[in-house]
Structure formats: structure tokens, C-alpha cells
Amino acid sequence: MRILFVGDIVGSPGRRLVEERLQDIIEQERLDLVIANADNVAGGFGIIPRLAEQLLASGIDVLCGGNHVWDRKEILEYLPQQPRLLRPANFPAGVPGSGLYVGRTRGNETFAVLHLQGRTFMPAIDCPFRAADRELGRVPEDVKVIVADVHAEATSEKQALGWYLDGRVSAVIGTHTHVPTADERVLPAGTAYITDAGMTGPQDSVIGMEKNSVLARFLEGLPVRFEVAANHLAMNAVRLEISAETGRATSIERALYRLD
């Protein structure tokens, strides 16, 4: 199974890049499944129903949120209605939406996506390790391909979850920090791993935001309103090859697509 995981989509520049390039990428690379992190698509913070539907229509099969998933109140009623938009599974019981999606690819092969959020330097929510145990227990036995989006700040926590889930999921893909890491590998029990997939949006920025406003915040220490930058658009992504029969990954590689 050929899978593309698209790194955090930031604002209208990131959406534009996905909408203009993704269908060609799907056809050229014969992709079976596309997963993306969409925690920052609405002006850099959160997601709204209209934008979620646009991204799903562009060819993305499953969207994952993160710590900003609740920033736009419109999403509270939408999440229970759209199972292909996930919020982290380790939020407390009773919050809207789900952290697990089970579906079928374009080729009618089964897959699951699990979405977790870290706790180190992040909001205090439930344990992602125990939440993973619980959610994996809900995956039907015949579903072998399982991709986990781990939205976390600390590299150590992402790596720990990678080792904890090695052999139990097909891939652990880190998101949230918007900077791609160079540690992609297939772990010993067959789980593809990378600490962060990177960002889809303006590269002439500070993690997607207009750089001068961020510099002012660092230099002066005063509150500043951040705006999404606009220049040098690129999509950081990860390509995965996974056996549909065993769920074990055979390869993982970083990918970079630009807007021509």
C-alpha cells in the first residue's frame, strides 16, 4: 500500500498548495491513501467545517487535528458528523469526535488512522500511551494497516511512543513542530517512524507565521498578533510503503513538493 502523509497544513497558502498539487501527486505516485494534519488550516489556528470539506474534496482521505482543533467553535458540532476529521484520542471521554478512523482505500483495502497528542509542554490531557492501548483494542482484527499521527512537542515523547507502538501499528508519524526531522526509519518490529513530518505552507516564515512579527515577539517580549506568511510554498510529506497483508512497513522516505 502506497501512503502519503502530508505535514501540518498552514493557512490559505498551505491549502492552496494541497488543492493545486495533490491530485497530480496521487496520480503520478499511484497513491492508495493520503493522510494530513490539519491543525492550522484556518488562519494558522484550528479548522472550520468548510475548509475541512475542501481538503477532503482535494484528495485527502483522513484529516488529523491536534492541540488547536478546538480553536474554532464551529468545529464542535461538525466533528461528530465527519468521522474523517480526527481529534486526539487521549482527550477526556465525552468530548466531541473521535481519535480513530477505520476505512477503505481507493483499492478497497482496509486501514485505520489513530491520532494521539503528547503531554510534555502541551495541555494536560489523558495519557497517550494508555489511550493508544485502548483505541488499538477497538480496531477490527482484519485491519492490518494502522497509521498513527502523534501530535507532540517533545521529540523524546514522540520517540517513546514510536518504540511503544513498534510492531503494533504500521507507522508513527510525528507532527506539531512544523520542522521536518531526518530520523526516518523502519523500527525492528516493522513500524515506520519519523519524529516530525514538517509543514505544508510558506517556507519563508517562522513555522508558518510571518517572520517579522515573530522576531518582534522575541526581541520585545510584548504580545503580537501572528499572521500566516505567504512566500515560497512547499509541502513537506512522508511516503510510506506498507504491506496490506501484514501491516508491516517496508519503507519510509521524506518528500518535498513545491508550487511551480
Query: What pLDDT, in 10s, does the model give residues 142-182?
Result: 999 999 999 999 999 999 999 999 999 999 999 999 999 99
Among 154, 116, 242, 239, smallest CA distance to 191 is for 242
What pTM, to 2 d.p., does this model score? 0.96
| pLDDT confidence bin for 190, thresholds 50/70/90 | very high
> According to the model, what pLDDT value does residue 259 have?
80
- 188: exposed, middle or buried (C-beta count within 10 Å: 0-12, 13-18, 19+)? exposed
Q: pLDDT tens digit string along 15-63?
A: 999 999 999 999 999 999 999 999 999 998 999 999 999 999 999 999 9
Please identify every residue annotated as catalytic: 68
Other C-beta atoms lying within 10 Å of the C-beta of residue 208 = 24
* Residue 79 to residue 81: CA distance in whole angstroms: 5
Among 227, 13, 1, smallest CA distance to 112 is for 1
* Residue 227's CATH number: 3.60.21.10
Give percent of the chain with pLDDT exceeding 70. Answer: 100
Question: How many domains does the chain contain in total?
Answer: 1
In this structure, the chain runs to a length of 260
DSSP designation for 14? H
Domain boundaries, position 189: 2-258
Locus of grid cell 474554532: 72
